[in-house]
Every structure is written in structure tokens, then in C-alpha cells.
Amino acid sequence: MPRIALATYDPGAGPSRDTDLPALVRALADAGAEAEARHWDDPAVDWAGYDLVVIRSTWDYSWRATEFAAWVDRAGALTRLANPAPVVRWNADKRYLGELAAAGVPTVPTRYLAPGEPAGLPAGHEFVIKPTSGAGARFAARYTPAEHDTAVRHLARMHAEGFTAMVQPYMPGIDVRGERALQFFGGRLLHASRKGAVLSPGTPYDADKVAHPDLERWRPTEAELAVAEKALAAVPGAHALLYARVDLVDGEDGEARLMELELVEPNLFLWLHPDSLPRVTEAILAAAEGAATTAPTIA
């Protein structure tokens, strides 16, 4: 009987935002595993006691990046971790987007501004500022050139907290075509979803946002699959991925571009895709038994 931990965040007194977790624990138990949801930051957990630790919903990690990186390394040294520690570490810093762009993956054009670097914000078009360590649109906002001073204050706050900022043109295609999430699990396409735009004009960067508005099922186009495949092929350590979510938006030219590649703790949206639960369960069980994972392919 494989012992499997699903690593999640501690929601405190409130309910967990990971509504998929109970169904996943149950499905793994029904399939003969001993599965438990555990808080990643719980010092009482004996990670070595599990055959596999699957990072599922450690959704507070982006503002505890150093602590999380240490946990990933520790857990990865004690047992089998999915995704593996090196690729999680690589993906937790959104400078990976620049690396993928350099490797020829169509990405949302991105400039990085580390603390101390002069701003030089776009004057001719709307733009987005967000942190290189982020999730759920935390600390993200969009600005018109007329909002330059507000944008500079946003940058200053991020830099004061030690974050490197990303500056991107606002991709207007997202308001019409939304953002598509292609999910891969156990080396194959699992399902895809589409959601609406998250950033509204004038919403303060430190406001809470709805991370996945108007989520619906989506059948990916050939072009989207091609970009996803290219992005995944460029990941260092792609062969060892258990799961991946590829988030795409349309550029000015209407072509799909990578917004984010989620290899840490992607929301799987199983509530929207209940038919995917058996595949996820199967792939986790195979990983627990040490089956070699293969590079995600579209086939």
C-alpha cells in the first residue's frame, strides 16, 4: 500500500480554497493507497514516511519563497517529490519566462526590474506590473501611461519587500478570448479550461482578486497545443514532470503566447473536470510506485 502525502497550505480557521483535495484523497484511498493531505509547513510531518509527496495546493508559498524553497529541498531529499525539487525551484521564480523566451517559446514580452533598478515604464501603451514570485494575481495590476505615478509607487512597494518586478504590455486579447490553461498529468494532456481576464482597470495591486473568473471547459486548438509542447520541451528536467499547467493568452497578432508555466502547485480544476479524477489518481499511484515519468507530450 503506497503512502502518499498531498502537500497543501494551512488555511487556518477558514475552509481550504482547494476544494479538489478531499475528492483526490478519497479517490487515492479507493484505489488502495494510504493518502493524506498535509500542510507543507507543519514541522510535525515526517515526510520520509511517505513513498511520494505530491505538491498540490501550497498556495501561500509565493510570499514565503525562501521558506518554501528550503522545504522543497528538504522534502526532495527525504522522499520522492512531485514535481521534483530542482524543477520546482526553477519554476518558483518567474524569470523562467525570460529563459523560455530565449529558447524560442512564444511568451508574453517581459522585462524584469530588480530592486534598485530604474523604472523606465512604458509610455505608449497599457502595461502590467507583477512580482516574479507570485500566484493568484497577488501584487499584480494594470496601468495606462497616465497612471505612471501609481505604477511607480507599486514598484517601490514591491522593491521594498525585496520582490523583483515584471513589466509586460497588457495583452488586450485576454478581454475577448480569455486565458487558456492546458493541463498535463502523467505525461499527457489531461484537460483544458478557459477563464476571463483577472485585472480590471483601476484595481489596486494590493486588492484581493478573483484568480479564475468565469472558468469553463475548453478544447485546445492545435496552435495552443504546439505552444504548450514547445514550452514543456524547453523545461530543464521536463522528463521528470508529473504535472504541468500551461497558461496562454493571445498576443496582438492573435497568436497564443505563454503567460505562465505552472509546475509548482497548479489548481487542477477537478470540480470542472470530474472525469479527469481517475487519470490523476492513476498517474499519482504510478509515480508513488516509482514509475519513470515521461516528458509531457501531446500524443
Ligand X SMILES: Nc1ncnc2c1ncn2[C@@H]1O[C@H](COP(=O)(O)OP(=O)(O)O)[C@@H](O)[C@H]1O
| Binding region for Mg ion (CB under 5 A) | 260
d(CA 34, CA 207): 39
**Residue type for 258, please?**
L
Minimum distance from residue 62 beta carbon to ligand X (Å): 7
At which residue does the C-alpha cell 493531505 appear? 37
261: contact with ligand X by CB under 6 A: no
CB-based closest residue to Mg ion? 260
Residue with smaller CB distance to ligand X, 81 or 197: 197
Nearest to 140 by CA among 125, 155, 126, 119: 155
The binder of 287, among ligand X, Mg ion, none, by C-beta within 5 to 8 A per type, is none
DSSP string, 118-163: -----SSS-EEEEESS-STTTT-EEE-GGGHHHHHHHHHHHHHTTP
d(CA 4, CA 36): 6
27: contact with ligand X by CB under 6 A: no
Site string for ligand X, 114-153 (x = CB under 6 A): --------------x-x---xxxxx-x-------------
Minimum distance from residue 140 beta carbon to ligand X (Å): 5
- Sole binder of ligand X in the list 18, 20, 51, 179 (CB under 6 A): 179
Strands ordered across the beta sheet of 111-113? 111-113, 165-169, 127-131, 141-143
Minimum distance from residue 31 beta carbon to ligand X (Å): 31
**Residue type for 260, please?**
E
Site string for ligand X, 183-212 (x = CB under 6 A): --------------xxx-------------
Q: Indicate the DSSP class of residue 38.
A: E
By the 8 A CB rule, do 65 and 40 touch?
Answer: no
Beta bridge partners of 185: 188, 243
CB-based closest residue to ligand X? 198
108: contact with ligand X by CB under 6 A: yes
By the 8 A CB rule, do 170 and 126 touch?
Answer: yes
Q: First-to-last CA distance in the chain?
A: 31
215: contact with ligand X by CB under 6 A: no
Task: Tell me which stretch binds ligand X (CB under 6 A): 35-43, 85-93, 169-177, 267-275.
Answer: 169-177
Residue with smaller CB distance to Mg ion, 52 or 197: 197
171: contact with ligand X by CB under 6 A: yes
258: contact with ligand X by CB under 6 A: no
Q: Which residues bind ligand X (CB under 6 A)?
A: 108, 128, 130, 134-138, 140, 168, 170-171, 174, 179, 197-199, 247, 259-260
